[in-house]
Structure 1
């Protein structure tokens, strides 16, 4: 999962602002923050073989960012955030190579809420994905193919409003422009959602629709969920001599007309144990036909001591006559308030004829099962 990290003040920014003539920054603040995660993962079957690999940004995506506010008076503030994802193993930029691919927006905030413009998290991320117990247990255990956008996804070129919280209730909505001349619809998206929190109980719901997803949002059905046909069309080619499987949509996405997902989740804390669950219903439309994915999941987090916690979850997925059953578990030990070590694992079984792939994270297996075990280190700043 990709949760928000702790932050520390960027004091050096004050020196830079001092060089700007006539700037008023007495009521302004800028913060630097980030997350660094790395570890070693064992995969039981990746394309027919065991795999041991260095992997990073799994418990949470690696990132660094800047965010700030300026008091404009009269209860109004200007706000901004720039957030960049990266791969620790090779130093490359993540999120399709965009410098601030995780977030880049500016906006205004008052007593009613916040209006922002730019590249921003959708409402599924804001209100539902925190109830994804499996992904809390293991960063690999996102829902199958991320069809339901429960991996913490963003919408580019968007205008977004998030209300403040009133009596435990909060809501929001956004629209993402296609920015294509003569085609307002193709590549556009919109998202709405709400949440309610009261004492130990919390719940949230959201609906997100993407029209003709492409680019980093494009579909590669075999890599995403391990199916060899999608909407009745083949998704792979198989070398008759070696049996090597090659995805037909690794470079050019499968032409999807619409991706629309509804999600709802809830959690309840009982002492040191938090129970959580979620359900998502996603409609994929292509070639004038629709297919539907349903995902139901549940699990719990047990904060055994202030430093040690355990999380476990079960996830069931049904799509186009296929089904997937997945178990996930994880343990985290805090070395400090900002640094922890963890151990996590997943086991997935898919229906006959599907090559199992956990969370769009590995090469699909050559069988209907796949498992992973990971040990990692995470630091927040």
Structure 2
């Protein structure tokens, strides 16, 4: 989710501006960030309840730098470096990457922008904002984030994003696998489009990963709590104690393909904005294919200029299993940059599933899991 960003003309910008350049060239650098922290109660995580410090939930913790240089004739050089981190420990997120959230350089023109690097995919660009449950509670991403509605990236990518044309924009990107002898392995691509007219908006995207790896590798039990996946067991159970061992916690489950189509829409009615989305994800491995379908609906209500309510319901179907989840959140602005919030989720799964909300906790040992959170967020 995007932060409120206040441009800061830093010493870096002044240094750039002082370098030899064409008379028309102007450079600027913007520093921005978000800090989010709070306390969360979880009803059942691995068999016990817990009260824990957690951070980067309502919005992911980050700091970043964006830059732009006017090259004349409508052209500009652009770049972004954005780092994610854990506020509670100070450690880097995204597998320890220095700029795991974004890192790219590109050329912007009157038609659009071509960029190169670690970049947001089209599912994030075109349909992520319709994930109303995640607006209500940062934990409430779709099951396992299989449909990438949580806002994900593609590394080693080349991307084109058009400028807005009467409310319409589109884009596409290719992520290189960089594997010698195989152009296909570890590669990915993403395409999408979005349209806005008055109170109505709609967006759609398709993203496919070949041999998902790294931070997007699969650990099915931790992600969605099922004991089987693509016909293979995901856990072993001690017959004497009932203790569960996750078979893919250290070595990822081999997936050949993850392809997901998502579509979402919204309509504003005064202070209330209705949002909905649907996604269809295909996962292939071991010669098998399975399909996850997610449907979600909800609304945002701006009660006062300082107080906002978000609520949503999502239904998931996958390999004969069902998940029903409701989420709600209340945000109060102390200023344009600082707010406090309370949020909660309740997830109920069908028999044979150890439910886990948003791939955020250990799976529950009962058929349900719930959380309540009190947090604070500041942006700069």
Task: State if a TM-score over 0.5 links the two structures.
Answer: yes
Post-superposition Cα deviations, 1:308-360, rounded to whole Å, max 9, x if no partner, equal 01111000000010010000000000000010000000000001010010010
Deviation of 1:21 after TM superposition, in Å, equals 5.0
SS where residue 8 of structure 1 aligns?
coil
2:20 to 19, 22, 34: 22
Post-superposition Cα deviations, 1:20-47, rounded to whole Å, max 9, x if no partner, equal 7525696111000001000000000000
Distance in structure 2 (CA, Å) of the matches to 1:374 and 1:246:
28
Q: 2:230 touches 2:285 (CA, 8 Å); kept in 1?
A: yes
2:258 aligns to what?
259
The root-mean-square deviation of aligned C-alpha atoms, in Å, is: 1.2
Distance in structure 2 (CA, Å) of the matches to 1:347 and 1:131:
20
1:58 aligns to what?
57
Q: Does 1:147 align with 2:142?
A: no
Map 1:96-111 onto structure 2 (within 5 A): 96-111=95-110
Distance in structure 1 (CA, Å) of the matches to 2:253 and 2:71:
47
Q: Does 1:276 align with 2:275?
A: yes
Distance in structure 2 (CA, Å) of the matches to 1:216 and 1:7:
30
1:234 aligns to what?
233
Deviation of 1:233 after TM superposition, in Å, equals 1.1
1:13 aligns to what?
12
Q: Does 1:216 align with 2:207?
A: no
Distance in structure 1 (CA, Å) of the matches to 2:359 and 2:195:
31
Map 1:13-92 onto structure 2 (within 5 A): 13-17=12-16, 22-23=20-21, 27-92=26-91
Deviation of 1:7 after TM superposition, in Å, equals 3.0
Q: 2:25 touches 2:71 (CA, 8 Å); kept in 1?
A: no
| TM-score, reference length from structure 1 | 0.97
SS where residue 144 of structure 2 aligns?
helix
Distance in structure 2 (CA, Å) of the matches to 1:207 and 1:124:
7
2:185 aligns to what?
186
2:339 aligns to what?
340
Deviation of 1:280 after TM superposition, in Å, equals 0.2
Structure 1: gaps of 5 or more residues: none
Deviation of 1:214 after TM superposition, in Å, equals 1.0
Q: 2:13 touches 2:27 (CA, 8 Å); kept in 1?
A: no
Post-superposition Cα deviations, 1:63-82, rounded to whole Å, max 9, x if no partner, equal 00000100001110000000
The count of residues paired between Structure 1 and Structure 2 equals: 379
Distance in structure 2 (CA, Å) of the matches to 1:21 and 1:32:
20
Deviation of 1:239 after TM superposition, in Å, equals 3.1
Q: 1:7 touches 1:34 (CA, 8 Å); kept in 2?
A: no
Classify 1:21/1:170 alpha carbon distance in 2 versus 1 (closer, same or farther; 3 Å): closer
Post-superposition Cα deviations, 1:259-290, rounded to whole Å, max 9, x if no partner, equal 00000000000000000000000000011111
1:250 aligns to what?
249
SS where residue 356 of structure 1 aligns?
coil
Q: Does 1:205 align with 2:204?
A: yes
2:156 aligns to what?
157
Structure 2: gaps of 5 or more residues: none
Distance in structure 2 (CA, Å) of the matches to 1:245 and 1:69:
52
Distance in structure 1 (CA, Å) of the matches to 2:3 and 2:339:
15
Map 1:284-295 onto structure 2 (within 5 A): 284-295=283-294
Deviation of 1:15 after TM superposition, in Å, equals 4.4
Distance in structure 2 (CA, Å) of the matches to 1:330 and 1:50:
21
Q: 1:263 touches 1:279 (CA, 8 Å); kept in 2?
A: yes
Q: 2:354 touches 2:364 (CA, 8 Å); kept in 1?
A: yes
1:380 aligns to what?
379
Deviation of 1:17 after TM superposition, in Å, equals 3.1
Bigger mean CA offset, 150-159 vs 8-17: 8-17
Distance in structure 2 (CA, Å) of the matches to 1:123 and 1:14:
30
Distance in structure 1 (CA, Å) of the matches to 2:283 and 2:34:
33
Q: 2:143 touches 2:358 (CA, 8 Å); kept in 1?
A: yes
Distance in structure 2 (CA, Å) of the matches to 1:187 and 1:300:
37
